[in-house]
Amino acid sequence: MMSSTITPPLTTAAQVAAPCGSNLAQGAVSVMGRVALSTIFILSAVGNKIPHFDQVAGYMATAGVPLPRFMLAGAIVFLLAGGVSVILGYKARIGAALLITFLVLATYYFHAFWTIADAQLRQDQTIQFMKNLALIGGLLTIVANGPGRWSCDQSLAQCGKS
């Protein structure tokens, strides 16, 4: 008579070690990716928008942004909260959504290449538009998949499973 129990497959030391090294690399790459993606937003707020608030608000007014001082204050909050959120991987989907909102508005008001007649200026703004589109793509990946390994969101999810 045959036994009805199922014997688990044998696991070799190499099979056990591979995921550990893979997890280490994946965690490091996730952190590096989040830092690389978010640095531009944090530096934009800290290095330009905050120290040059009045000048930036004036530039925004000339570009047709409504309520430029209010919108700039909101942009600074979105840039800092979103950037830190993505780097830490804490509520990263929300942080990425904040940064996407900023990018959509900034791209519309400041990189509308389709309205520019001068070929060189149109090319310059097309490049800026495409850069923002690429950033939006990276942020959409975080919205869709979360921040990845070595993130606060992942750690909190694992604590909830314990």
Q: What is the domain partition of the chain in residue ranges?
A: 30-161
Instruction: Report yes or no: 71 and 60 within 8 Å, Cβ to Cβ.
Output: yes
pTM for the model stands at 0.83
Structure tokens at 115: 């309205």
Residues above pLDDT 70, as percent of the chain: 86
> What's residue 136's pLDDT?
98
- Of the candidates 98, 106, 139, the residue with the CA atom closest to the CA atom of residue 125: 106
4: DSSP letter = -
pLDDT in tens, 123-142: 999 999 999 999 999 999 99
HSE-up of 90 (CA within 13 Å, CB side)? Answer: 6
> What's residue 156's pLDDT?
83
pLDDT in tens, 16-74: 344 455 788 898 999 999 999 999 999 999 999 999 999 999 999 999 999 999 999 99
Instruction: Report yes or no: 99 and 75 within 8 Å, Cβ to Cβ.
Output: no
Instruction: Report yes or no: 152 and 89 within 8 Å, Cβ to Cβ.
Output: yes
